[in-house]
Amino acid sequence: MKKLILFGPVFLIIVILAVWFIDGMGDVVQPIQYNHFVHVQEEEIECLECHQYAEDYARASIPNIDECADCHDESELEDEEEMTSDEDIIRQEMKRQEKKILFAYMAQNKKIPWRQVNNVPNYAYFSHRRHVKLGGIECVECHGDTGKQTTPIVRPHETRSMAWCMDCHEKENVSNDCYACHH
Amino acid sequence: MPKWGMIIDLNKCTGCGDCVTACKVENNIAVVGQEESANGRTMLWMDIITTYEGEFPNVKVRHMPRPCFHCEHPPCTKVCPVGATYLNDEGIVAQIYPQCIGCRYCQVACPITVKTFNWYTPEWPGRMAEACNPDVAVRPMGVVEKCTFCIHRLQKAKEQAAVEKRELRDEDYVPACAESCPTRAISFGDMGNPTSKVSQLKRNPRAFAVGEDLGIEPKVYYLSEVE
């Protein structure tokens, strides 16, 4: 009986860890703890300011050091902000750490190795211009409310599959001929 | 709906092989070694068939560029058990690689032998892999492939026309072989439109098709050589 009581919690912990591990398995690790919330909601920067090509090309593009440098430079690290609580201090320190990583890349003139998480295989054709400009579809519809995200994007908003593309095409009365997408 | 087709003027063709090279590069077609090539595993979507007539010294050399004919009654699609190859509304015989199970029935069914099978995972010598066309899938081992009339160019051309708010024009969409031909022997366009250049050329008395007797109704026509 005693053994069982001991075993119960241990078993539970193992299950929890296993679920947590399996759930995170497909996730990628981004080089910087990038925060969409700060940029999009607090600072009100438009998606297209960073993902410049979403309207005009197939690829939306992920911004890199050149674009970051438009707003960020090393002098920021000296800025002292008023800190009232312990939480503020921790938050500030984390922010400084992430910015240091960014400035290290900028100083070496090295690209930030972002990992692209939304991917269609190379045998299918997907174009942002077709959907954003011609279709008038909002980013939210396919990527979720990215602006609320305080951590980097480590997985697609929803399971990406051909059925996902075709369901919307069916609804919108768009061609579902295999050769509309496959090449 | 357009019906895409091609006319090849054999009088203008010099057999230079530009179309073959352009096609190979455009479509990331795998390079097989010499040995494999000798086994009949060469991969070409556009090939030049060379024939020799007469006895030396009066030899006549003839060249015939041969892409997929994109037949209106394709024998290959009828034998595909999984629908990986089919005739689409615009008259292009499609080849959907992830759907293909590699049974090679279609390869056998094609009377003009345009289909090739990927016996290996494709490899390119040296840094050529970096020069692959990102618009075209690299086919994995175990699927059948063939000329697609450069479908990726059509996909982009349609989008460009939509952005410019106009109908697709013939000159918007040209496959790599036709574009590369230095003597403009290859014409490409909408055969459904009676005023298009290809429709006009098709009415030329020199026009003929290979395999018409088989009832496959190819959409690649040739203009015979004048002696």
Could you tell me which of A102, A117, A129 has the C-alpha nearest to residue A48?
A: A129
- Interface subset of B 71-110, CB within 8 angstroms of A: 86, 88-90, 92, 94, 96-99
Distance (Å, whole) CA B208 – CA B204: 9
DSSP state of B205: T
Which residue in chain A has the smallest CA separation from B85?
A178
pLDDT at residue A48 in the model: 93
Parallel, antiparallel, or unpaired for β B93-95 and B116-117?
Answer: unpaired
pLDDT at residue B128 in the model: 87
pLDDT digits (tens, 9 = 90+) for A119-160: 999 999 999 999 999 999 999 999 999 989 889 998 888 778
Confidence of residue A74 (pLDDT cuts 50, 70, 90): confident
pLDDT at residue B126 in the model: 85
CB atoms within 10 A of CB B148: 23
Whether residue A129 and residue B163 make contact (CB cut-off 8 A), yes or no, is yes
pLDDT digits (tens, 9 = 90+) for B7-57: 999 999 999 999 999 999 999 999 888 898 898 899 999 999 999 999 989
Q: Which two tokens stand for residue A154?
A: 């480590």
Confidence of residue B201 (pLDDT cuts 50, 70, 90): very high
Could you tell me which of B15, B6, B45 has the C-alpha nearest to residue B144?
A: B45
pLDDT digits (tens, 9 = 90+) for B88-112: 999 999 999 999 999 999 999 999 9
Residue with tokens 């090849």: B8
pLDDT at residue A155 in the model: 85
pLDDT at residue A2 in the model: 62
Structure ipTM: 0.89
Measured in whole angstroms, the distance separating CA B140 from the mean position of its chain's CA atoms is 20
Q: Which two tokens stand for residue B177?
A: 């072989």
| Chain A CB contacts of B137 below 8 Å | 121-123, 182-183
Q: Rounded to 5 degrees, what are φ and ψ at B4? A: -70, 135
Domains located in chain B, CATH noted: 4-223 (3.30.70.20)
DSSP state of B40: T
Residue A1's alpha-carbon distances to A5, A8, A9, A139, in angstroms, are 6, 11, 14, 56
pLDDT at residue A24 in the model: 62
Whether residue B148 and residue A180 make contact (CB cut-off 8 A), yes or no, is no
pLDDT at A85 over 90: no
- A131 to chain B, minimum CA–CA distance in Å? 10
CB atoms within 10 A of CB A84: 7
pLDDT digits (tens, 9 = 90+) for B57-99: 999 999 999 999 999 999 999 999 999 999 999 999 999 999 9
pLDDT at residue B203 in the model: 95
| Chain B CB contacts of A179 below 8 Å | 88, 90, 92, 94, 96, 151
Distance (Å, whole) CA B120 – CA B114: 18
What residues have CB less than 8 Å from A22, skipping those under 6 apart? Answer: none
pLDDT digits (tens, 9 = 90+) for B138-196: 999 999 999 999 999 999 999 999 999 999 988 899 999 999 999 999 999 999 999 99
